[in-house]
Amino acid sequence: MATNKLQAWFPTAKAPIIISAPMLGAANATLAAAVSQAGGIGMIPGGLDFSSSSPHLVTLRASLLTAREHLSLPPSEPLPLGVGFLLFHPSLSKFVETTLPILTEHKVKAVFFFAPTPSTNGEDGGIIKDITSALHDQNIVVFFQVGNVAAARKAVQDGADVVVAQGVDAGGHQFVAGSGVVSLVPEVVDMVGREFPGREVSIVAAGGIVDGRGVAAGLALGADGVVLGTRFLVADEADTPEYRRKLLIETEDGGVSTAKSTVHDDIQGTTFWPAPYDGRALVGQSYKDHVSGLPMEENIKKYGDANQSGDTSRLVSWAGTGVGLVRKGGPAADIVRETRKEAVQSLRWLQGLYL
């Protein structure tokens, strides 16, 4: 397959390029290393607290050492993976001071940004533009996940090298208002080509993609690669509790079995997410009770009581609409290789039909 921009930045990646989402609480260094070793691009979750005493940064240092160990790379070699960061914490202004040195020390190849607020990403670029410039000075590739065309335009203006076009089928947190990848990806591709001629910007598809057929579809839409999140939740290396793995594998009819709402955060107390974002999760008992009219205060109490007693039926399990296609777990490397093989088969099948 032809080399694209992502392969120029990540020479060890094999097309079709599969990227693991930096899912905070589920992804980790071992998972990211396995994805990269199998020819994908692994992403380690780096958190959102950039203060000098941040526990997230302590974990990040340890994670990068773990990834290097799993990849058997000496300190002089760059790490062929990235680190994901959320951008809405008040400590974002400390990023260059506290976090960039860790990334450069460990020779991280990329960062994966998501969820700025208007106050940190104003019309002039604000803090985000300054951070991106500092990362580029260290030859670090900047991924920026967005949920609409306007945000994609802003990301490119602020210096993004890779725009991750995330459709509303995605699991976990995303833009409240958006569209599916089928329309979002090609419109972002067209916008970048039209408004930023000559810029080396790669477009990546995300949201509802869990198998090789989805990967092939993303490529057909104009993406250089795809991000998988829900599929890697059941990877052997993921920090996913056993009850949740079982639930994800057994879930069918993903569009009906998941719901996109801010209610999931309200119930579990993760209400620090800013207004432009909500999240998609499995429809559990807490969400069902919400729909039935149970007052939120009472719903939160039920959630807490169930959690204390070991009852998992009310807990929030983030998942995209593609969850109905997730039928098994396994090593992350196998997921990458099998998905890539299926994508190539799908592309060849289509080529045989129409060319």
Catalytic residue annotation: 173
User: In this structure, which amino acid lies at residue 68?
Assistant: R
The closest of 165, 146, 322, 141 to 229, measured between CA atoms, is 322
CA atoms within 13 A on the CB side of 27: 31
Beta partners for 83? 44, 111
Spatial neighbors of 57 by CB under 8 A, at least 6 apart, are 47, 49, 50, 98, 99, 102
Spatial neighbors of 222 by CB under 8 A, at least 6 apart, are 185, 186, 189, 203
Spatial neighbors of 181 by CB under 8 A, at least 6 apart, are 165, 166, 167, 169, 205, 206, 207, 208, 209, 217, 218, 221
Assigned token pair, 28: 């980790």
